[in-house]
Amino acid sequence: MDVLQLMDEWGPEKVVCVSDRRTGMKGVLVIDNTARGMGKGGTRMSPGVTVTEIARLARVMTWKWAGVDLFFGGAKAGIVFDPSSPDKEAALRAFARKLSNEVPREYVLGLDMGLTERDAAIVQDELSDRGAMMGAPAQLGGLPYDELGVTGFGVAEVADELMAVNGSLRGKRVAVQGFGAVGAAAARRFAELGAVVVAVSSVHGALVDPDGLDVARLLDLRASSGDLAVKEYGPVQALGAELRVPCDVLVPAAMQDVIDADLAGELDTTLVVEGANLPTSVAAQEVLAARGITVVPDFIANAGGVVAAAFGMDARYSPFPVNPATVLDAVSEKLRANAVRIVAEARDRGTTTHVAARELAQERVLTAMKLRGRVA
């Protein structure tokens, strides 16, 4: 592919591709736009990572930071490697070394698909810099995002705020696609808020029960068996059943590009809260809006991670740990207010919520670019 074709009026400002012959690691860093601050975004590891994928996600980070009005720039990194490989640590260390010119001066790594809190500690160790990667274990002074479940927590808080228009989230049916860090944390918080989780899924299949799943049992199974938790819980259905089950709130929290226009026409829900990045196509967003189904865009709904990252970045060289309760309170307050604002903006502008949210973020980024003299 021609990397130059990725560039438009917003970015990317820098694309760095790296490789390591000993481990076979290949990787890419995309710094999209730094008008509002240095590049900050997650780092994922998967055999299928592509430059285009990482560039798309870096752009999402640009809008996400601007959408929550926090001062960092959009960036993302990816490692083409199998996270289940016994050579994972060697590949991760090689990736960190190859980016030592950019990390942490221009970009600070974060946790995403395929990486854990221990991996964050390994990167910090490799670069001898506590500020090189966010999400390290609390025992090393880090703010453990996955352990706290900040992103999934924020997704549920958004749903609770918007469902309050119709009374309450309590007793409402929720379906969650994905039962990883985001989906599991969202399911936990939904249960705490009194919702009935009627479906969850992992790569091994979908669990569907109109009367409600036992979330506490599922979480226990996940702690011991990971993605296999759904099969150990009970009979699973084919993937996709979790998206089609009748519900009040649907949370796609797995991968990008899972809801197209055709599927959008089939969904039986009133609210879609995007826990994953880029789960709906533009055509799907238009279909959902035409059907009167409210959609909370990814970079608004799943921004709990960036709010937590902002706290982590602020304290990355401090000897004093961040109070998790402070972080969760900030995630709830900021995401609830943002979701309400975007839904209202979409109504006032006569657009989809994605367009309204992106226009608001673009206005903030463009203002910063003008102030810095990057555009006329």
Residue ranges of the binding site:
40, 64, 151
The whole-angstrom separation of Cα 174 and Cα 304 is: 19
249-252 and 271-273 beta bridge pairing = parallel
The whole-angstrom separation of Cα 121 and Cα 93 is: 11
The whole-angstrom separation of Cα 368 and Cα 375 is: 10
Going by C-alpha positions, the residue among 69, 71, 67, 87 that lies closest to residue 79 is 87
| CA 28 to chain centroid | 19
The whole-angstrom separation of Cα 308 and Cα 330 is: 8
Per the CB < 8 A criterion, the answer to whether 32 and 62 are in contact is: yes
The whole-angstrom separation of Cα 151 and Cα 275 is: 8
3-state DSSP of 144-182: CHHHHCHHHHHHHHHHHHHHHHHCCCCCCEEEEECCCHH
H-run or E-run covering 77: strand 73-80
Vertex 334: Cα angle to 170 and 277 (nearest 5):
80
Residue 291: DSSP 8-state: T
The whole-angstrom separation of Cα 9 and Cα 118 is: 37
**Which amino acid would we find at residue 12?**
P
Sequence-ordered list of residues with C-beta below 8 angstroms from that of 139, at least 6 positions apart, any chain: none
Which residue ranges make up the annotated binding site for NAD(+)? Answer: 151
The DSSP-derived string for 91-141 is: HHHHHHHHTTTTTTTTEEB-B-TT--HHHHHHHHHHHT-TTSBS---GGGT
Which residue ranges make up the annotated binding site for substrate? Answer: 40, 64
Q: Is 164 helix (H, G, I), strand (E, B) or coil?
A: helix
Catalytic residue annotation = 76
